Every structure is written in C-alpha cells, then in structure tokens.
Amino acid sequence: MKLYNSALIVTLLVSVISLVTAQRGTDPPFYLDSDSLIEISSSNINQLIYNTSYITLLEFYAPWCGYCKQLKPSIEKLAKNIKKKNLPIQVGIVNCDDPNNSLLCSEYEVTGFPTLLTVAPKNLNKISTSKEISKKNYNVDVYTGEREFKPILNHLISKSKSELKLISDFQKFYEAVTRTKQHVDKKPFIVEVFDTTNEKSKKQLALEEVLKTTQLQFAKGIKFFRTNIDTIGPNVFQICLGEVKNDLINDFCTEMQVRMLSGVPLDNVLYLFDPVQEKFASFDAKNYPAEKGVKRNKYESMNYRVASWIIDILGSENVSLLDGPFSSKDKLLKKSVFKNKYSSKQKTKKTKKKTNKKMNDADIDEL
C-alpha cells in the first residue's frame, strides 16, 4: 500500500512539473526581443563582461518571479535609454530558470530574484584586447539602491570611468603639443574645443556625449581632453611662433591660420595630436559618412564616424580597441542580444504592440 502511494505521489509530481513546463513554454515573452539587452551565458560572460571598459548591470531573474515582473519595465527602459544615448554601459540578463544557466547562477551565489550586480573595471590599462581574461581587474558589487529606472541609471553613470579631463591652463596644452617637458605622456591625444556661448553648434554634433563613450573604447592608447576656446584661441601664436618646429606643429598652425582667415570657428571641433608620429588632424564629419546599410541612431552614428577617423589617421596597427563598432568583441555582442525563446511569433508581435503603446519617445528621452 505504501509503495502504491509513493508511486502515485511521484506520478502526480511528474505530471505537475510537465504541466508547468508546458505552460511556461507557451507563456508570453518575459523580455521582448531586444537590441539593447545582452543575454549572458557561461559561454560568453568572460568576453562580454570581463573584457570591457564599460560598466555592466547584470540581472539574474526568473520569468515566474513576481518581483522580476515588477522590475521588468525599468530594465527595458534602462536598456533603451543606454542604447539611445550610446552610453558606455551594458545591461546583461541571466535567466536562472534556464537549466543551461544553473552553474552560472550558482557561481554568483544567486539565492533570490531578481539579483542585480554591477561589474566595473578597476584599471582600464589592464584590460586585455585578446581573449585573455582577468576577473581580478573588475569589481563585482551587489546593487542595493532603489529599483527604478532613474536611480539605477544614475548609479551606473556615477561608477563609470568615462570622464573628459578639462585643460584649463594653456601652458599644459603647449607642453603636450610641443613635448617640451620630458614627463609629458607620449600617447596620442584628442582635444575637443568648445565654446560655452555657442550651445546650438555644440548640441548639433553632440561631441561631448559621443566622446565619453569613444574615450573608453580607445582608453588603452589615446587620451581625451576638453578645453574652452578661450584657453587656446588667444594663445595659438605662442605655439606657431615658438622655437619648436615639427610636422605636427606646422600642420596645426596651418589649419589655425586657414580657419582664422576664412572665418571658420575654432570651436566645436575635434583635434587629434600624435607627438610621436608628428601627426595632426581635425575631424570633419563630411569626410566620414555613416556606414551604409546599418541602422544607428545619431549618437551611435557619430561614434562610428569619430572612431573611423581615429583609426584612419593613426593606422589600425597603432590602435588598441576595447569596445565599439571596430572591436573584436562587437560581433559576439551582436550575436548575444536577447532573443526570446519562450513564445510563438504571433504572441511576440502582440506583446510588442502592447508594450510599444506604453513606452513612447518621451520615456526614452528622460536622460
């Protein structure tokens, strides 16, 4: 009798599990197909999370979890905003209900859902551009703040190493260009010249926003700075009439002279200086059009064009890329964007329509 009862209980359990599994297989998608959420697994986590200059928000979730369902709109909104502004931040998701992710969820000691972690590089110079991984160079912290879109985004931005140093002293700019001091770094550097009184022109190229991301992509080999036109404008002739002469300075002074004589503004421009190769160049967006056949928003497109310019001037053999459209990681990243596996195409389309009505452009523009 006991054996009969035990067999009956086992049979009932198997039936319930099969029923639940079948039900989950036809459930509407938890996350929609997305080009901004990265599906993390044991096979790609090292290359995507521990081989990047970006900060990553990592969510461990389960589709049946009520708290995960509450957080879902904020995660989707976060990912869309990051992509829209092309911020140097990644959002990775791990479905712990997937048997293939069991070991990964155990490794990160996930005991409740959703679990949110931030993974951030300690030293950008120690990030490898090859397949060699160093997890020791990354801080992994549990996110304990408010689980809303804006607080999470602000937290990630605050932890990012994306910051353009301001050159406020012309003497430092002079020393960097002429290399009159032995301690000056030999790395190529890019200077964004801005004018605080010319906001309209500055916003058109959105250079500052673009450079925050581009800076991290080229962090191993190039330095990025910003300076006000008032810092270098009145002092240009100190460089051009000085004793130090080389190809870099000659090209720089020629361009300054042409701009001044033709009335072309010196501000809202990117200048690239390579003291070692004695190269100088200014960025002209017209010479670097958007990539044909590839859909990108204005920030992604400008990032692509600036990166193309840098590689073209310095040479691909002289550039170490950590992230971005020309990095070795980019192909893997595109393969890893989230594609829902739990529902039919018809249900996916229906859910997309409902979600798109709720999330309009005003939501995306909240940065």
300 in the same domain as 230: yes
The b-or-e profile of 122-143 (16+ CB within 10 A means b, else e) is eeeeebeeeeebeeebbeeeeb
Give the pLDDT of residue 273. 92
What is the percentage of the chain residues whose pLDDT exceeds 70? 78
Model confidence pLDDT, tens digit, residues 137-189: 999 999 999 999 999 999 999 998 877 888 888 887 887 777 665 545 678 99
State the total domains in the chain: 2
Backbone angles phi, psi at 342, to 5 degrees: -105, 0
Q: What is the mean pLDDT of residues 112-131?
A: 88
Model confidence pLDDT, tens digit, residues 342-355: 444 444 444 444 44
293 in the same domain as 230: yes
Phi-psi region of 268 (alpha: psi -120 to 50; beta: other; left: phi over 0): left
Neighbours of 250 (CB within 10 A): 13
Domain assignment of residue 14, yes or no: no
316 in the same domain as 184: yes
Give the pLDDT of residue 73. 94
The C-alpha atoms of residue 145 and residue 36 are separated, in whole angstroms, by 22
Neighbouring residues of 292: CB distance < 8 A, sequence distance ≥ 6: none
The more confident residue out of 362 and 195 is 195
pLDDT classification of 3: cutoffs 50, 70, 90: very low
Model confidence pLDDT, tens digit, residues 299-311: 999 999 999 999 9
Give the pLDDT of residue 185. 64
287 in the same domain as 356: no
Domain limits for position 239: 165-326
278 in the same domain as 170: yes
**29-38, 127-136, 266-275: range with highest mean pLDDT:** 266-275
Entry pTM: 0.81
174 in the same domain as 319: yes
Domain assignment of residue 23, yes or no: no
Assigned token pair, 305: 């064009």
Looking up residue 233, the CATH number of its domain turns out to be 3.40.30.10
